[in-house]
């Protein structure tokens, strides 16, 4: 599977890291680590920007992360107009991996605190589409 079913709007159908979609559909949020230099990236990369190696390994992002910052999107960009308002957040997970994702709608704005614990999980969207979001731990 390619990226044609990723998120609300997908701007590409093919990517070198297309296994990301296979993992999401299987219920796992995965990313890559370079076997050559050890650098980890999210979103996953098939080629390491640090050392240019293509020898990468997939691993699951699990456990607790923490909320670094967030913003409330009141006017969504093209393709997301009908989703607003929603909350975009930057979370940090083990190994310093930073992930940009939506906060789950079950998290009330008054409950959001920088530093709060987060988990990341796949989410099924209409029309057989998949994405990922943060949930409160």
Q: Could you list the residue range(s) of the whole structural domain that residue 51 is in?
A: 19-136
pLDDT tens digits in sequence order for the chain, 137 residues long: 565 666 655 555 556 778 898 999 999 999 999 999 999 999 999 999 999 999 999 999 989 999 999 999 999 888 888 889 999 999 999 989 999 999 998 899 899 999 999 999 999 988 888 999 999 98
Is residue 127 situated within a structural domain?
yes
- In-domain check, residue 63: yes
Q: Burial letters for 58-84: b for 16+ Cβ neighbours within 10 Å, e otherwise?
A: ebebeeebebeebeeeeeeeeeeeeee
Domains identified in the chain, total number: 1
Q: Is residue 99 exposed (0-12), middle (13-18) or buried (19+ Cβ within 10 Å)?
A: buried
Token digits of residue 77: 């960009």
Does 1 fall in a domain? no
User: pLDDT of 21-35, one tens digit each?
Assistant: 899 999 999 999 999
- pLDDT for the residue numbered 104: 94
Residue 10 lies in a domain: no
């Amino acid at each position: 599977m390619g990226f044609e079913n990723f998120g609300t709007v997908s701007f590409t159908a093919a990517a070198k890291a297309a296994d990301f979609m296979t993992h999401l559909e299987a219920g796992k949020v995965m990313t890559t680590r370079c076997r050559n230099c050890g650098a980890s990236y999210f979103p996953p990369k098939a080629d390491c920007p640090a050392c240019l190696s293509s020898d990468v390994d997939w691993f699951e992002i699990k456990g607790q992360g923490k909320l670094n910052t967030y913003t409330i999107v009141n006017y969504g960009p093209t393709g997301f107009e009908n989703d607003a308002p929603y909350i975009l957040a930057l979370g940090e997970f083990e190994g310093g991996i930073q992930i940009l994702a939506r906060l789950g709608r079950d998290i009330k704005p008054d409950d959001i605190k920088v530093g709060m614990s987060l988990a990341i999980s796949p989410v099924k969207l209409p029309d057989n589409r998949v994405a990922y979001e943060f949930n409160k731990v």
